[in-house]
Amino acid sequence: MFTVIIYGTYTGDLTAHLTISFTDLPIKTLSDLVAQSAVKPLVPEGTNLDTLLSSSTGGVYRQVADKMLMFQKMHETGIMQKLFNTYWSSDAVCSSGSSTEADSINLEGSGGCFIVALAFYGLGLLTLLVELLWTKALKRHPLDCVVY
């Protein structure tokens, strides 16, 4: 039973470490946002942040506002709609054949647990056999030990 628990813990821990990816954030400041071109700044119109960016006269805030303006022009000219139609089809429907239920654990999925248990049982029997032979040999020919 102990082996089953250890095996389950190990498998769960390994799965957790392999499924979580840790990424370093490429953007930490507004200067980083302006310097790169992969992420475009977007701010909802009419918010305080939009007012701050659009009313700024220079510096990083003005550069962010200029990048936002370029994005708004792309939206007004229809480039954004063309990209949307190209990469996202409007007739996309989720398939109904997919299953949302998890599969139960079966013997094939947990077979490794039994292999590990058998290996430890075999190791225990081998240790017992060596110990029995060792004590039998010592009864015939005891070691000459000096006891203080």
Q: With 60 as the cut, is the pLDDT of residue 97 above it?
A: no
Of residues 60 and 144, more confidence is placed in 60
pLDDT in the model for residue 124: 95
- In the chain, pLDDT over 90 holds for what percent of residues? 10
Instruction: State yes or no: pLDDT of 13 exceeds 80.
Output: yes
Looking at per-residue pLDDT, the higher value among 95 and 119 belongs to: 119
Say if residues 3 and 113 touch (Cβ distance below 8 Å).
yes
Q: Average pLDDT in the 110-122 region?
A: 85
31 within 8 A of 60, measured Cβ to Cβ: yes
As given in the structure block, the two tokens for residue 29 are: 């400041």
Grouping H, G, I as helix, E, B as strand and the rest as coil, residue 5 is helix
Locate 60 and state its tokens: 């990083």
User: Any alpha helices (H) in the chain, and if so which ranges?
Assistant: 2-19, 30-35, 48-55, 59-77, 79-87, 111-140
pTM above 0.85, yes or no: no
